[in-house]
Amino acid sequence: MTPRRIFRGWVPLLLLVLFVIILTTGVLSGPSEYQKADLSFVQQQIDQSAGAKPETRVVDATIQDSKQIIRIELGNGKKYESSFATEQALVLANELKQQNIKYNVSVDRGNVLVSLLLNLLPVLLIVFLLLFFMNQMQGGGNRVMNFGKSKAKLVSKDTPKTTFADVAGADEAIEELQEIKEFLENPGKFQAIGAKIPKGVLLYGPPGTGKTLLARAVAGEAGVPFYSISGSDFVEMFVGVGASRVRDLFEQAKANAPAIIFVDEIDAVGRHRGAGLGGGHDEREQTLNQLLVEMDGFDVKGGVILIAATNRPDILDPALLRPGRFDRQIVVDRPDLLGREAILKVHAKGKPISSDVDMLIIARRTPGFTGADLANVLNEAALLAARSDVRFISSALLEESIDRVMAGPERKTRAMSDREKKRIAYHEGGHALVAHALPNADPVHKITILPRGRALGYTMQLPLEDKYLSTRSEMLDRLAVLLGGRTAEELVFHEPTTGASDDIEKATQIARAMITQYGMSDKLGAIKFGSESGEVFLGRDMGHQRDYSEEVASEIDDEVRRLIEAAHDEAWEILVTYRDVLDNLVLRLMDTETLSKDDVLEVFATVQKRPSRGSYTGVGRRIPSDRPPVQTPAELGLVPSKVSDLVKGNGGPAGHATNGGGTNGGGSANGGGVSGGNGTAGHPRPAGQADPGTAGGPAGLGHGDPAQSGPGHSAPSPAHGTPPPGSPPPEGPRIANPWAPPTWDNDDDRRRR
């Protein structure tokens, strides 16, 4: 707190004036004309006054009872005063009376103004403290009595502008917000066809994805008054202040319409009404009610667009999310591969990037990173470059910065014995070896036994592409990879350590989620077990509520244990089979402490991938089909003009058999149909037999012979006989949509059952 903030305003000035008045009153009273004397001297003068000379006789005396002072005046004009105790006042009065000395008793009432100020001083002090604290709560300045006014900030023209060119990785959100900009610039274009601009736009998504950055870009692009405020600025300790601020904010915006209002973290004021023990929060609910009325109430004037951002759209009040208020809800999710590359290029502007840096490779290295994470990666790389006194940011510095963002800084000062390092090497080697041997696990990118952050070592796996779904096989392989470290400890050292606690926790969570949430149990079926209890105060899920019996709970525990044990056994089999490879990996780790992707592939050169498991065999009558998925035109190598031929059932280009077979005719490229088969070059197959494909093409793609089958048509089967020369090929069944799943009438596998 600076002295300027303390001493500004009218309250300190008032206190200064009072102090000057009190000081002036004391100065104007002047010095006293009485000499200080001892009480014994004064009493002696009084006792000797009867027989004393006229010039030494006491002629006048005054007793001031309030101040406990006695003053005497002698015949020669000298004046003395002395203090006395409370019980001595009566004694002095009797002595003066006995000596026949004229005396007076006075009670000094003092200065009336000074007395008044002294009496009011405590009250003034309390008022000053109250106003001072209110001033601090309102952010200082002259807003002490204006706490009901809006605290929104109007973006001025001098503010550095952020445009849509500074935002990357959120193309859909930019497109939606561009529409608002176009409406504000040219409303007639939309009004001519009866279109109305959305009254509210809600941006929601994980933290760090760029919601506030998008709002700043709208402020820089809109060209209209832009008011920015946080949701917490509406809530105060006084009931009704938030609603008053909402009214004042919309009044300012309507006065300058068209205008845009941006409310950051709207969940601070827009939570579900009535939530919590006791019925909710009166002040917040009144603020929300006023916000609802202002957005779409009885008296609504157009021209004001509300943009809000939140991380928790699930806890917002339904009345706030309905059409007419937040008409458009835009998700700002984590960027994909190309989005991450674009974000890296945006944040790389102004930084000396080395020529060997490929932003696409860095984007592949950072799956799941948000825009804030990527900005932090480049900033960390710049800091490392400055610390190392290098002029350019190289790929090695970017790799190190990614590790720092993901796992924390490297702990070079932690000293560990060689025995513990060897345990950590076997643990991380177990993870890596199991991951490399399983067909559905992500490739191993890096292995290190150097402590970083809270980890003593780690194995980094990176997917080849962005994934949004996980199959049952991938989750089972993930369980085996997580238990690979503990399995290696059991295999080599004959006992586990505490280092696998996090792996066990994650594996248990995945296994339980597979059973209770994803329905991946053949025994329990596709049922969700349990429900999350609603929010109490914070809008968070406070616990798990069971909605099943004890018998079902026991079966769930058995299924979870079965999955964990199966993954444990699979990891054990892999490590036992390739124990020599594991030992070689540990020796390399003990020597270099860190292995890159190329080093890992070199060590694992002799490791063969395990065959893909049959993850689902069916339950009851639900027997999975042996018919593979239909192939898209892109997979068949068709140009867009030939897609209509595929839909009609005609053949594709020369050399590729398509879905042109009849009941007994040449089969489809994916082996579909009971009697259908794939014709090969000059060797027609019998009915019902599928051709896996000839050399040079993928399995399932039968290559037709142009000389015998004609361009784009499969060879006819013996069941049809040889058609006469020049006759059109047999027309197969029409497919309304090649991407649609087969109907029950055409599902030959269902008929076979």
Annotated binding site: 205-212, 427, 431, 503
CA diameter of the chain: 171
**One-character DSSP codes across 561-624:** HHHHHHHHHHHHHHHHHTHHHHHHHHHHHHHHSEE-HHHHHHHTTTPPPPPPP-----BTTBPP
CA separation, residue 385 to residues 345, 403, 409, 413, 434 (Å): 18, 15, 15, 21, 36
CA 164 – CA 174 distance, rounded (Å): 7
- Output the CA torsion 631→633→638→644 (10° steps): 120
Task: Verify whether residue 550 is a known catalytic residue.
Answer: no
Q: Is the CB of residue 674 less than 8 Å from the CB of residue 751?
A: yes
Q: Which two tokens mark 740? A: 């649609």
Per the annotation, binding residues for ATP are: 205-212
Q: Is the CB of residue 71 less than 8 Å from the CB of residue 78?
A: no
CA 535 – CA 623 distance, rounded (Å): 42
Q: Which helix (H) or strand (E) holds 46?
A: helix 39-47
Select from 209, 169, 206, 167 the least CA-distant residue to 339.
Answer: 169
Residue 565 sits at the vertex; the CA angle it makes with 560 and 567, to the nearest 5 degrees, is 100
Q: Single out the catalytic residue among 428, 474, 559, 570.
A: 428
Residue that the structure tokens 């006023």 belong to: 290
Q: Which two tokens mark 344? A: 């890296």
Q: Which helix (H) or strand (E) holds 376?
A: helix 371-387
Residue 202: how many other CB atoms lie within 10 Å = 25
CA 200 – CA 208 distance, rounded (Å): 22
Catalytic residues: 428
